[in-house]
């Protein structure tokens, strides 16, 4: 279905600085199905948004992605999600999120969104074989942790190899821990992991850190942290669990074995925003820009979770953001553009 540009009506909306209201409304062709809320992404943010939107009788449709469930699908035990005193397996937790959303009327499709058009309402979303119209959209596509791409890394994920110290650090009490990376995340994770590990070794590919001065100084001065410079991890080994690594000193071109129980990879994240380039404001690293962590630069399009949140990246914070986005979408559908202006001004 193509909407002729000339048939759209433009409504001028004044919003606080930094937030532009497109305010362009186009007629819906008879026979087209219009969704109230389309949610893109199915991690804790997307599925919490789905629970809230479904309970508000908005019958949300969720584009979960072919690899649905988000980052927790790659985790083993989750011990810090409130409500599970004995912990829960990541995939099991995401199944429960999904069941809860479906119970209240969310429809979940395990397909990727390939393209969007947010320049006018109704918004348009494309998957491989469908085009969907939606009055409002919640973008909760998350961010993917970068992995090293070395031999055995994938097999040992959740078995000593992790990208989340907050999630998995507590499993390594009195163990030998390695952290890879030289940025703030690596320093933060290394310092955090000293609470559990016998010793933490930071392996960094250069001889100076990218991290902020204060974080770098804290890590460098820590008695339980040591640094291996100009070095990369070349492979990880272990039958059922990580047992050792191969490290290559790239200055001297020397390879050695290193015994370790855990490897935390902290080399950055990539937000999943390729489909939104040119449609939503993105920052230099590709994260969605939002003045309040809920609204985007397009009125009626909301954001939730790691695709915005460069700092916390926790399941529980993502879930909280999903809740906020759904509540704002509900208000937007009820009161229109005027609500967005009010919500942002207060």
Which residues of the chain form contacts with ligand NAP (CB under 6 A)? Answer: 148, 180-186, 188, 205-206, 210, 232, 266-268, 310
Q: Which is nearer to ligand NAP, 268 or 286 (CB)?
A: 268
- The distance of closest approach from Cβ of residue 189 to ligand NAP in the complex, given in angstroms and rounded to an integer, is 8
C-alpha–C-alpha distance, residues 227 and 247, integer Å:
13
Q: Which is nearer to ligand NAP, 124 or 157 (CB)?
A: 157
Q: Is the dihedral of CA 170, 171, 174, 176 positive or negative?
A: negative
Catalytic center residues: 164, 167-168
Select from 311, 307, 309, 302 the least CA-distant residue to 329. Answer: 302
Side-chain-side CA neighbours of 200 within 13 Å: the count stands at 30
- The distance of closest approach from Cβ of residue 157 to ligand NAP in the complex, given in angstroms and rounded to an integer, is 16
Specify the DSSP class assigned to residue 128: S
> What is the edge-to-edge ordering of all strands in the sheet holding 231-237?
231-237, 244-249, 254-259
Q: Are 161 and 243 in contact (CB under 8 A)?
A: no
Specify the DSSP class assigned to residue 310: S
- The distance of closest approach from Cβ of residue 202 to ligand NAP in the complex, given in angstroms and rounded to an integer, is 10
- The distance of closest approach from Cβ of residue 322 to ligand NAP in the complex, given in angstroms and rounded to an integer, is 21
C-alpha–C-alpha distance, residues 174 and 197, integer Å:
4
Helices and strands (DSSP H and E) totals, the chain = 7, 21
Q: Which is nearer to ligand NAP, 316 or 343 (CB)?
A: 316
Q: Which is nearer to ligand NAP, 96 or 228 (CB)?
A: 228
Q: Which is nearer to ligand NAP, 127 or 246 (CB)?
A: 246
Residue nearest to ligand NAP (CB): 183
> How far is Cα of residue 292 from the mean position of the Cα atoms in its chain?
17
Distances (CA, A) of 294 to 12, 253, 297, 322, 329: 22, 48, 10, 9, 10
User: Two tokens at 118?
Assistant: 């947010």
- The distance of closest approach from Cβ of residue 309 to ligand NAP in the complex, given in angstroms and rounded to an integer, is 10
């Amino acid at each position: 279905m193509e909407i002729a540009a000339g048939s759209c009506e433009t409504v001028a909306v004044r919003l606080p600085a930094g937030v532009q209201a497109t305010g362009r409304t186009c007629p819906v062709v008879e026979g087209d199905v219009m969704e109230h809320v389309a949610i893109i992404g199915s991690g804790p943010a997307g599925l919490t948004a789905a629970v809230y939107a479904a309970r508000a009788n908005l019958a949300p449709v969720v584009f979960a992605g072919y690899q649905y469930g988000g980052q927790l699908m790659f985790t083993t035990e989750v011990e810090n999600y409130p409500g599970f005193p004995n912990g829960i397996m990541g995939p099991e937790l995401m199944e429960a999120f999904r069941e809860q959303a479906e119970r209240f009327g969310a429809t979940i499709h395990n397909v990727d969104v390939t393209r969007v058009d947010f320049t006018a309402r109704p918004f348009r979303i494309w998957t491989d074989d469908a085009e969907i119209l939606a009055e409002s959209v919640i973008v909760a596509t998350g961010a993917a942790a970068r992995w090293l791409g070395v031999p055995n890394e994938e097999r040992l994920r959740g078995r000593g190899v992790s990208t989340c110290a907050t999630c998995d650090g507590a499993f390594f009490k009195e163990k030998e821990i390695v952290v890879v990376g030289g940025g703030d995340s690596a320093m933060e994770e290394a310092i955090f992991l000293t609470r559990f590990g016998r010793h933490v070794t930071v392996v960094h590919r250069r001889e100076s850190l990218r991290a902020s001065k204060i974080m770098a100084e804290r890590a460098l001065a820590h008695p339980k942290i040591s640094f291996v410079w100009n070095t990369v991890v070349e492979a990880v080994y272990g039958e059922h669990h990580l047992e050792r690594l191969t490290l290559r000193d790239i200055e001297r071109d020397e390879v050695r074995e290193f015994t370790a129980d855990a490897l935390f990879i902290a080399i950055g994240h990539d937000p999943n925003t390729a489909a939104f380039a040119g449609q939503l404001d993105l920052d230099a690293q590709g994260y969605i820009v939002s003045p309040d962590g809920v609204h985007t630069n397009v009125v009626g399009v909301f954001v939730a979770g790691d695709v915005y949140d460069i700092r916390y990246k926790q399941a529980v914070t993502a879930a909280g953001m999903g809740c906020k986005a759904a509540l704002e979408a509900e208000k937007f559908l009820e009161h229109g553009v005027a609500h967005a202006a009010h919500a942002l001004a207060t």
